[in-house]
Structure 1
Amino acid sequence: MAVENLVEALQTLNADDALRARFNKQQWLTLVGFLQQHTLRSGDVLIRFRDMDRGMYFLESGTLQVYVPDSAPVRRPVAILRPGSVVGEPSLFGETPRMAQVEAMSPCTVWLLTGPRFEELSARQPSLGIEFLRAVGGVMAERMRANLERGLPVA
């Protein structure tokens, strides 16, 4: 079942910027109930640089590349994401333009959590929402630290 594949990927990702939510299996399944599954082909754009959409993605399978477009055709690489990674998480915190572009390097399955669905989750399950925000904040802090160490701009 795809939901179980996503939960396993999230729980087993061994990366500094992994989402480290302290959820039991039932809490993971509750969270997944607020997500929408999407499939991507290799080369598909998941997040467009400077778009204003409000949602974050969970990568179940495949590989995503994150980069900042410079003058065409130059791309400033930021990261390559593996299954279990999250991407686009800053959009849950404010209505600001996307800071990078994200494309599928291979066929991918991703799950979308929109801003309104996150607000609904938080209203129905406040403790789950708070723990999720703590974990997402941890991802953002780790990515900011890594970018600062590499000399990449934070904004």
Structure 2
Amino acid sequence: MDAAVLKKVALFEGLTQGQLAKVARIAQSRTHTAGDFIFREGDTGQDMFILADGKVRISKSVPGIGEEALAILEPGQYFGEMAVIEDSPRSADAIAHSSCTVWVIERAKLDQLMFTDKDLAYVLLWTFVRTLSERLRETNEKIKGFFAISRF
């Protein structure tokens, strides 16, 4: 993966050129055709993904309703990062919405990189915290909206 491409990914914006090059060395490319599951809710995750091209749909299967799309991701966005932070199962499905290429970063390789470069670890972990906080806030807003709708 090209370090210049990584610089455009929000997760890596605070990294130096040298740090970006280190991350690029541990990323592996994988392609998917439309409809492929990149991962499924409940799977054990050991990887995070950066969308290089195409689109990826993050969704949950809702009993009695079917698939509920949570987000359609565009190139430059990342997903599955919770698997590199915790050991919990995947919380949603990631499906190739169109043919796509993703860059895969394995948890073990990222752990090793963060262990050897504490400045890189600091930047990434704070970005993870901000991302998770933002997603929690969005979820809270959706829940408030659902409660408001259900009162009518």
Q: TM-score range by the shorter chain?
A: 0.7 to 0.9
- The answer to whether the Cα contact below 8 Å between 2:6 and 2:12 also exists between their aligned partners in 1 is no
In 1, Cα distance between the equivalents of 2:15 and 2:39? 27
Amino acid of the structure 1 residue aligned with 2:131: V
Residue in 1 that maps onto 2:98: 106
Answer yes or no: is 1:7 the counterpart of 2:6: yes
Give the length in aligned residue pairs.
144
Picking from 1, 11, 15, the partner of 1:19 is 11
Answer yes or no: is 1:139 the counterpart of 2:131: yes
Gaps of 5+ in 1: 11-17
SS in 2 for 1:66: strand
Q: Which 4+ runs in 1 deviate beyond 6 A?
A: none
Gaps of 5+ in 2: 145-152
In 1, Cα distance between the equivalents of 2:65 and 2:101? 27
- TM-score computed with the length of structure 1 as normaliser: 0.83
**Aligned sequence identity (%):** 24
Alignment of 1:53-72 (within 5 A): 53-71=45-63
Deviations 1:70-91 (A, max 9, x none): 2377112211111111101111
Change (3 A) 1:5 1:28: closer
Picking from 83, 94, 102, the partner of 2:75 is 83
Pairwise CA RMSD: 2.0
- TM-score computed with the length of structure 2 as normaliser: 0.85
Task: Report the structure, 1 or 2, having the larger helix content.
Answer: 2
Change (3 A) 1:151 1:108: same
In 1, Cα distance between the equivalents of 2:139 and 2:17? 32
